[in-house]
Every structure is written in structure tokens, then in C-alpha cells.
Amino acid sequence: MATLYGVFRSRASRPIWLLYELGEAFDHVPVIQAYRLPQASAPDAPLNTASPAFLKVNPQGQIPAWVEGDLVLTESLSITNHIARTRGGALGPQSPAEQALIDQWTLLAVTAVETPALEIQTIQGAGGDKTPEGQAAIAINAEKLRRPLRRLEAHLAAHPYLVGDRFTVADLNLAECLRYAQGHPTLLGEFPAVNSWLERCQARPAFQRMWAARMAEPA
């Protein structure tokens, strides 16, 4: 059985959501981020990204990590795409063309969406949205998102999902990256088709199961 390392409050949420979609059994080792601990090296510290035992799995010291026999993957979206290709059924590619489209939307998620969306969430989480400097930084990152969101809006105005008119791993990957920007008060309202698509993705029982576990985990 394959093993997933990482806690729910991390990018491990992405493969966990997919595995819940598929009803796929897996071993789950809850490795927490070292920066979240007062002293990650303490003898009684929980298994974390700086623990020697975990660094043998991923020397980069990041989660998630996926171990499947001799295969070790350490990037969350490479994990989801691998799972979808090998055991994803309708959530995975059904042709080389669909694989190319899944790769395209996944790369767009990573290169054009995740960083500015995460910046918005980080600034808001630190209370920066209440300062002029923070508000300016949020505005800059929202503007960076508008270009890919315009592209998504055009596609999702004509299609319910990103690939094959059905929910696939491409939707999961992109929805999880865009989720960081959901706290922006007005941005997604500018793109109604994108907003409706994101709501459909997050209404899925597997997402709700993952999210409930994430919220139950200590912050």
C-alpha cells in the first residue's frame, strides 16, 4: 500500500482529496511542518519536516511526500497527477489529448494562480488587509490573478469543468490553488463562471470530508 506523508493543513490536502474521491486505501503518516512547532528538534516533538526520519523520505524537508514501492514523489500536484493516471478512472486522462490538457491546467495552476493567491491569503492571515501597505499588496496580487481568471472564465462559461466536461484531477489541482484567494472580498465575484465552478468542486463529498478533517486538525 502506498504511503502519504503530511498533515491536512498542508498541500497534502490535494492528494488526500483525490484519494477520498477514489475511495483508495493508503497509509497516512501525519508529518507536521517544522516551522509550526516551538522546538522541532525537541526529543518529544512530533514527527515533522525537520525530523531525521522524514528527511530520509524527502531530503528537501517539505510535505507532502508519496511513497509507492520504489517511487518517491515530493510535489503535491505530481502526486495527484500520478494517482489520477494510474488509478483515477474517470478523474484521470482517457486519452493522450486529455493528459495534455490536464498537464496544461495543472501548470497554469502552479505558474499563474498559486503564488499570487497564496500571497493574498498570507497577507490577510497576518492582518495586512487592514493596513494601506497590505491592501496595496493584495491589489497587486489580485491583478496578477485577473489574467488567468479571464481565461478560466471564458472556458468555464462554455464548459462545466476543465477537461472532458467532467470533474477531473485538473479541476481538483486548480481549485486547490485558487482556494487561497477565496478570502478576497470581491475578486471571484468578477468571474461568475469561475466562482460557480469552484463552488461545484468544493461541494463534492470528498472535498467536504477532507475539509472537515482539515478544520478538526490543530491550526
Contact 141, 120 (CB under 8 A): yes
Beta bridge partners of 158: none
Q: Are residues 48 and 140 in the same domain?
A: no
Q: Are residues 64 and 150 in the same domain?
A: no
Contact 32, 97 (CB under 8 A): no
Q: Are residues 61 and 133 in the same domain?
A: no
Contact 65, 12 (CB under 8 A): no
**Cell digits of residue 37:** 512547532
Contact 39, 16 (CB under 8 A): no
Q: Are residues 202 and 113 in the same domain?
A: yes
Number of domains in the chain: 2
In whole numbers, what is the pLDDT of the chain averaged over residues? 97
pLDDT score for 128: 84
- d(C-alpha 116, C-alpha 173), whole Å: 16
CATH number of the domain that 190 lies in?
1.20.1050.10
Please say if the pLDDT value at position 219 is more than 90.
no
pLDDT score for 38: 95
Q: Are residues 104 and 190 in the same domain?
A: yes
Number of residues that this document lists for the chain: 219
Confirm whether 171 is domain-assigned.
yes
> What is the arithmetic mean of pLDDT over 122-143?
94
Beta bridge partners of 5: 29, 65
**Cell digits of residue 216:** 478538526
> What is the arithmetic mean of pLDDT over 131-155?
97
Q: Are residues 113 and 83 in the same domain?
A: no
pLDDT score for 134: 94
pTM to 2 decimal places: 0.96
Contact 9, 217 (CB under 8 A): yes
> What is the arithmetic mean of pLDDT over 93-120?
98
Q: Are residues 58 and 103 in the same domain?
A: no
Which residue type occupies 116? P
Please say if the pLDDT value at position 98 is more than 90.
yes
Strands of the 27-29 sheet, one edge to the other: 27-29, 3-5, 65-68, 71-73
- d(C-alpha 126, C-alpha 118), whole Å: 12
Q: Are residues 46 and 126 in the same domain?
A: no
Q: Are residues 156 and 175 in the same domain?
A: yes
Q: Are residues 66 and 104 in the same domain?
A: no
| Residue range of the domain that includes 46 | 3-87
Confirm whether 196 is domain-assigned.
yes
Confirm whether 216 is domain-assigned.
no
Confirm whether 218 is domain-assigned.
no
* Boundary (domain end) residue, out of 87, 119, 151: 87
CATH number of the domain that 52 lies in?
3.40.30.10
Q: Are residues 18 and 82 in the same domain?
A: yes
> What is the arithmetic mean of pLDDT over 133-151?
97
> What is the arithmetic mean of pLDDT over 159-188?
98
Q: pLDDT for 186-208, tens place per residue?
A: 999 999 999 999 999 999 999 99
For residue 60, name the pLDDT band (cuts at 50, 70, 90).
very high
Buried residues in 91-112 as b, exposed as e (16+ CB within 10 A):
bbbeeeeebebbeebbebbbeb
- Burial category of 67 from C-beta neighbours within 10 Å (exposed 0-12, middle 13-18, buried 19 and up): middle
pLDDT score for 157: 98
> What is the arithmetic mean of pLDDT over 14-20?
98
Q: pLDDT for 19-40, tens place per residue?
A: 999 999 999 999 999 999 999 9
Whether the bond into 64 is cis, omega within 30 of 0: yes
* Boundary (domain end) residue, out of 87, 117, 146: 87
* Boundary (domain end) residue, out of 57, 87, 117: 87
- d(C-alpha 105, C-alpha 174), whole Å: 7
Q: Are residues 23 and 105 in the same domain?
A: no
Confirm whether 83 is domain-assigned.
yes
